[in-house]
Amino acid sequence: MRLFDAGVTYPNGTVALQPTSLEFAEGVFTILLGPSGAGKSTLLRSLNGIVPLSQGQVASAHLGVLRNARQWREHRRKTGMIFQQHQLIGRLTALANVLMGRLGHHSTLRSLLPLSVDEKRMALEALDRVGLLDYALRRADQLSGGQQQRVGIARALAQAPNLILADEPVASLDPATAERVLALLHGICRQDGLSAIISLHQVELARQFADRIIGINGGHVVFDGPPDRLGEDAIRRIYDGTSIPQKNPSAAYELEMTP
């Protein structure tokens, strides 16, 4: 994925993402850090077109610059989204929720027909990978928070994605469960060579799992580098940056770019 000079201003005038160019290499586990309101969700949502750019362009590794609705649809079909509140349908089984991940692969008419045995096999395999095969027929609202988020991961995997985008996927879990769920997602991405871009608010989890950390403050990228470069200075830039003048960020912050 690439962002070229991408900026987002919401209709109410809030500048959520200042013009930003970033390249996300294949197979890299990238974590976005930043205070609340920094622009992490906006950046993630712009990468799958939920939030349209006000300027600049998005390019996918597989489709090039995304210019029209058909290309965006194709890109979204191969992009697994994982949300903080996992957005499962509580009264449906874990399996039915995972099967939702397959719907984007069909035309509207086809999706009204029963899903094939192959589709169900893919969904069950995805549940197996997150350790929930035995819970496939359990209602989603009868699962624990950690299990529900694992169903959310399985639903994303059932899309056979090229890319995973996750917006605060472990924010509503207790610390031990958060670490286990993130370790699971990390292991799967590693195994499949999947690119992932994940926003988190736990710095320690970012240090533990990220290949690359991108720090955002006030819609600007203020740090970009591997975890071992994330020192005290960088943490201050990411979390206290509001006191630093925003006019000319590249002068105020010495960006640490990945090679």
Instruction: List residues near ligand ADP by CB under 6 A.
Output: 10, 12, 14, 16, 34, 36-42
Which stretches of the chain are assigned E, i.e. beta strand?
Answer: 2-9, 15-23, 29-33, 55-60, 64-65, 79-82, 163-167, 195-199, 212-217, 220-225
Least gap, CB of 185 to ligand ADP (angstroms):
19
Least gap, CB of 177 to ligand ADP (angstroms):
22
Least gap, CB of 98 to ligand ADP (angstroms):
26
**Please, which residue, 11 or 245, has the CB nearer to ligand ADP?**
11
Least gap, CB of 127 to ligand ADP (angstroms):
29
Phi, psi of 43 (to 5 degrees): -60, -45
Least gap, CB of 215 to ligand ADP (angstroms):
11
Closest CA to 189 of 80, 86, 88: 80
Least gap, CB of 244 to ligand ADP (angstroms):
17
**Please, which residue, 10 or 87, has the CB nearer to ligand ADP?**
10
What is the token pair recorded at 103? 């719907």
Least gap, CB of 175 to ligand ADP (angstroms):
20
**Please, which residue, 4 or 239, has the CB nearer to ligand ADP?**
239
Q: Give the count of alpha carbons within 13 A of 33, CB side only.
A: 28
**Please, which residue, 10 or 26, has the CB nearer to ligand ADP?**
10
**Please, which residue, 36 or 191, has the CB nearer to ligand ADP?**
36
Q: Are 29 and 210 in contact (CB under 8 A)?
A: yes
Cβ neighbours around 131 below 10 Å, total = 13
**Please, which residue, 13 or 245, has the CB nearer to ligand ADP?**
13
Q: How far is CA 230 from CA 154, 169, 213, in A?
A: 31, 22, 8
Q: CA 21 to CA 128: how far, in whole Å? A: 38
Phi, psi of 140 (to 5 degrees): -60, -35
**Please, which residue, 60 or 199, has the CB nearer to ligand ADP?**
199
Q: CA 61 to CA 126: how far, in whole Å? A: 24
Q: CA 58 to CA 7: how far, in whole Å? A: 10
